[in-house]
A and B are shown apart, each in its own frame.
Chain A
């Protein structure tokens, strides 16, 4: 009797698990027209970006809109923006994993891949913005007969290490997380090529107990390793600015402020990606309002931290008594870049207030809208911090107004294309959700289904 029950539940288990495998791996099927069209668009835009960059290298950085004293502009804005995006990935997968926050399972794979690709995108911009990119290797410490080394006092060199470290860790973390699922993909793969490919990537995963035991240890260990990076990397990025004497940059609040902002934008980006993904691949059973609500709350929290940081900045400027600091923030609110500042305040502080309402937090439509606004707002935050501060420094003779050119726009668009290209490739070639973990704790609807099958 009990035996049959066990068998039943076993069968039910197997059935549900099979369904999980099927559903998730179904994303790996022959891509439909939609995907193809998407890819075509993405590649076109990317091509435009690459062309612009080649043109810029050939003719000189002057083809971008730089207008001294604004010596950093959209490229660095994009750099900080993408590093920011990268953050939530590690946060969601590593930190929430350590906190055993279950809602992460559905979305952490997406956010981790997002992390890796975002870092890959961010890493391009320091090069794109170099005046003589063909000498970029001067930035790397390599032994040479001239006995010349990079200047380790320069935050840019710190960046160099921060970014590369972050990229290594997060990609390893992503890969380790993928191993069991790649194995699953391997088992279901139909084409020879795929079988061989997945076979190689899954490192001969058999799902034995010992493997699972080691796997979980390794994963935990990596999670622990990745966690401090969430804080360190963006702190270093923020020091690119905080270490400078530019009014509006030179502030001790920058590190926490940037980290919060990064997570804020990252979470927003996760939502932006998950909503269409869920629709496109009919994963509604795996990602539901429950996850959405949690993400929304995370968004609300970070939003209020950012809001607070904005206010503190202004207060510090006033309290410092330095006319230069004060001038910067006055100009930020009412000067020639006021439009950008108010976009930033509006999108990052005002609109997220709507998340106090559960109806908004659980509405896919509204959350998508809000997340888009936050993405825009966070991009403009960097735009304002960098450009407005530089345009209004110590010497009034050297005040100016910067406008981007088509080259910068093309390259910026290209960077989004670059990011999406990798993402599209990923969802087609690797499972975009953690099958194994989903099996561990079935999402509510599947649990219901399992019960039904057992009852049957």
Chain B
């Protein structure tokens, strides 16, 4: 059957089908399909391959639907971008689809009020206006289609449409990384983003690139980073080193073996000096380590040592992201390019053969020009598609005011956001999960995007709207290539790749075409020097800059006075909220920040000693004031902040967009001047100096973390690389080094495996690598989606009543030389063999089952909460209230898992619904068939970008989990309590660069 017919069917029967599935949850009617759609069976999930559109990275996804409703997203293992993994944002994508605050249909502004409209009416109105403008013969700049970064067919449609209706398309992406493009153009003559081969490198140094959080393609780089860096003890091979040069201990920096804390805006000097040591001529020549040391406060020895590492190992240097883009961002990126070239990384670990999407040339410059044009009244009509400039541009730029000069304004945003509030027409687009499309994450890789369910509301795909407008208002000479709608347009665009329906079906199954899947070249051999632009080749050869123009390496311009009582402001993108587009997803609002563990609110990150000097404690509201604006937010003391800086996260502070976003936190962009990096025209996010004043009021700091330090309890263990290698190679005795409580009788896998039915084939368990865990929280959201975990809201988070079955505990450890070591400890139910929670439950609501699971029977629980008191790991969560799922958020509930009622204790079940499904499935292969490795994964394991979580059967000695848990780095949390946990942790491996050994020399003064 035709896919579209099938979708229609789901449409007709969708509601009914879902009632049928929900019938378990109450309604007593039973609605069958009219015509049974092929590939849909009630009670059996249907999967669609698609592409994640939560950020420009374009990860491949598999969308799980039940009875025509999306209930879960997982990474597409075939996609070369994310290789089966997703981040927290991707895992929460269907909370965008089911957002209760979405626009339910088209609306128009009638004297100050938004009233419902008809799609025909809306389209014709739009068409009429555009035709009027075109026939009035206004200059092509008078109609502007302002869109975010787009690739593939949608971009093509936007451009063709703009040409046809006499409009101008302006691309604005808040995180546009223009400086990187400009720097690459200057040094290599290629205005593209190369793909950085982190996986293939042995030494990675990042100059403010938050590549584990938001930078370019975070999931992809997290996967690569773990393969380069994670030491699990199953092989005695030394792993790579990662050094982060940043003004703030970001999540990315917290995973670095060494965090080089530098004065904001001087990161690039380290790169220059390193290039200098490596013998780069040109501008680098006069930046000796000594001179750089004076400017940055990092001592010369360190710089030389890092340069040495860069030379001796196969290395890559990553240019800066948002939190280091000052007014000299291009120069900074050039410096990193010089280092890469001097270190011979070009064509080896930095490859221009497969450029990646993620940067937009001249994005901010374009918007500045647009504002100018708007102010002169030259712009007659402005159409916004997938962008929210009113929120993400600094108010000082005056975009919103300029909008007053534009007579006709239309928003295609699915949500009524800050920009929408300025528009006369709201024509809500489908969300990505409802619409067709494609995306090109990197050259040669095209991800397909197909609707996984019928639109939830009366929305319409913007391309369809544009096509209609095009036909009526467009230049008749240039009619659209197809008679049909957006789907036909897309299909036609794919006709060369998919000539027939079979090829098309195959593409839909695979989720795209992966021609350009980058393969790591053998070390040291540049594979694609030829792919470099001429200048690049020349540059690689001669060591001169690619394009003629010289680069000025002067320090950035700081806005505002320096001196007593002022701080350098660092605004940084937060992993959960990106640029703020995901702010109305409750799961993401409630996701604790990896560094500060704060949720639901914007905080001011302050060094504890500074806070003490100012007499500030967590929760004290301060006014942060720059020359351009001021915001008020509570202080969070964070040892990872520098004394001379205050840091604020981006993404919150919406005053529209929906119930979860509006009024939560503040938007630090209000503090920024509309300054641009002179060379690239990119927005300068950093370089503002601010003052702090105490307001005297105090709010509840919404932190998950009780204590920053583990009080010397060694919950998250670590060993130096040298020792780890000795252990892995069997030279050293396991448990030899610093024995502590209970370690005299080390717990073995064999022992734990016995904690289940002796005749049964299973004892489920986990091996969690603390060396791989980055604290990115993807597992937390994945768990929420799989197990119907409610979000509890800020006032309940304040009472730490959060419901995350798995949480990442983050402990900071002070090291010699003022260094800080961060430990990320994923904590979830340990399914103990001798579980303290079991004997104390008066009603057997929790007990040990034949598979060795520690089961929680929700409908037996009466809520004495004794089990939680007696759980040393504190991983049991209580339903203090009947938690709400505002329609249609409840559509995303997993029908295979009970949504718990008030008064019941709940906790991690190792995804028992997946275990049972596998058990039922395996019996098809005979009564004695046994579940084998990889037949299913837990939700957290499935999505973990760094494979930190390995789940499996401890009774099977061949299983990966048994091997790792039996490995030299394995240990059990609170082993001395003899609870015999089924979760084994693999120790973190520290001090790879040998700094610890040479701790005599202090690394950074901060």
Contact = CB atoms under 8 A, between A and B. Distances in A.
Nearest to A244: B870
Contacts of A154: 839-842, 866
A23 interface: no
B811 to A, nearest CB: 7
Interface in B405-460: none
Nearest to A129: B864
Nearest to A405: B799
Contacts of B869: 69, 71-72, 244, 246, 390
B700 to A, nearest CB: 11
B706 A243 contact: no
B801 interface: yes
Contacts of B706: 396-400
Given A67-B801, A139-B862, A150 B879 contact: no
A136 interface: yes
A394 B870 contact: no
Interface in B837-869: 839-844, 860-866, 868-869
B840 A60 contact: no
B740 to A, nearest CB: 9
A15 interface: no
Contacts of B860: 138, 148
A65 B798 CA distance: 11
Chain A CB within 10 Å, residue with most, of B840, B869, B880, B977:
B869
Contacts of A66: 799, 801, 878, 880
A132 interface: yes
A66 B796 CA distance: 11
A59 interface: yes
B903 A397 contact: no
Given A154-B839, A155-B840, A397-B827, 13 more contacts: A59-B881, A61-B880, A66-B799, A68-B801, A72-B866, A131-B865, A138-B860, A153-B840, A160-B842, A395-B809, A397-B807, A397-B810, A400-B706
A36 interface: no
B903 A61 contact: yes
B842 A245 contact: no
A322 B741 contact: yes
Contacts of A148: 844, 860
B974 interface: yes
Interface string A344-359: 0000000000000000
Nearest to A396: B707
A211 B350 CA distance: 105
Given A61-B863, A245-B872, A131 B902 contact: yes
A359 B250 CA distance: 68
A377 to B, nearest CB: 24
B878 A131 contact: yes
B808 to A, nearest CB: 9
Interface stretch (B169-177, B213-221, B711-719): B711-719
Interface string A146-163: 001111011111001000
Decide if the interface of chain A is mainly helix, strand, loop or mixed: loop
The B interface, classified by DSSP as helix, strand, loop or mixed, is loop
A260 B705 CA distance: 39
Nearest to A390: B869
A135 B706 CA distance: 33
A176 interface: no
Contacts of B840: 153-156, 243-244
Interface string A50-73: 000000000111100111110110
B902 A139 contact: no
Contacts of B902: 60-62, 131-132
A391 to B, nearest CB: 9
B956 interface: no
Contacts of A59: 881
A204 interface: no
A139 B840 CA distance: 12
Contacts of A156: 840, 842, 864, 866
B713 A396 contact: yes
Contact of A393 (B874, B880, B881, B903): B874
A130 interface: yes
Contacts of A68: 799-801, 868, 874, 877-878
B879 A60 contact: yes
A394 B872 contact: yes
Contact of A139 (B711, B843, B904): B843
9 contacts: A66-B801, A71-B866, A131-B865, A132-B861, A151-B844, A156-B840, A156-B842, A243-B839, A400-B706
B878 to A, nearest CB: 7
B971 to A, nearest CB: 15
B842 A139 contact: yes
B904 A62 contact: no
A72 B866 CA distance: 8
A150 B862 CA distance: 12
A404 interface: no
A155 B869 CA distance: 13
A60 B881 contact: yes
B709 A396 contact: yes
A327 interface: yes
Interface in A106-148: 126, 129-133, 135-136, 138-139, 148
Interface string B883-901: 0000000000000000001
A156 B712 CA distance: 34
A149 B712 CA distance: 43
B839 to A, nearest CB: 4
A101 B455 CA distance: 85
A243 B866 CA distance: 11
B873 interface: yes
Interface string A308-330: 00000000000000111001000
Interface string B7-40: 0000000000000000000000000000000000
A138 B864 CA distance: 12
B720 to A, nearest CB: 23
B710 interface: yes
B881 A62 contact: yes
Contacts of A324: 713
B704 interface: yes
B882 interface: yes
B629 interface: no
Nearest to A68: B800
Contact of B842 (A131, A150, A322): A150
Contacts of B799: 65-68
Contacts of A245: 836, 870, 872, 977
A139 B845 CA distance: 11
Nearest to A157: B842
A246 B843 contact: no
A153 B811 CA distance: 36
B905 interface: yes
B793 to A, nearest CB: 11
B904 A132 contact: yes
| Most-contacted residue by chain B among A60, A131, A153 (CB, 10 A) | A131
B874 A398 contact: yes
Contacts of B712: 323
Contacts of A132: 861-863, 901-904
Nearest to B847: A151
A139 B866 CA distance: 13
B919 to A, nearest CB: 23
Contact of A396 (B811, B864, B879, B904): B811
A396 B878 CA distance: 19
A327 B711 contact: yes
B809 to A, nearest CB: 4
A151 B840 CA distance: 8
Interface in B259-316: none
B877 to A, nearest CB: 7
Given A129-B864, A155-B840, A323 B713 contact: yes
Nearest to A159: B842
A129 to B, nearest CB: 7
Contacts of A130: 862-864, 903
Contacts of B879: 60, 131
A148 B901 CA distance: 22
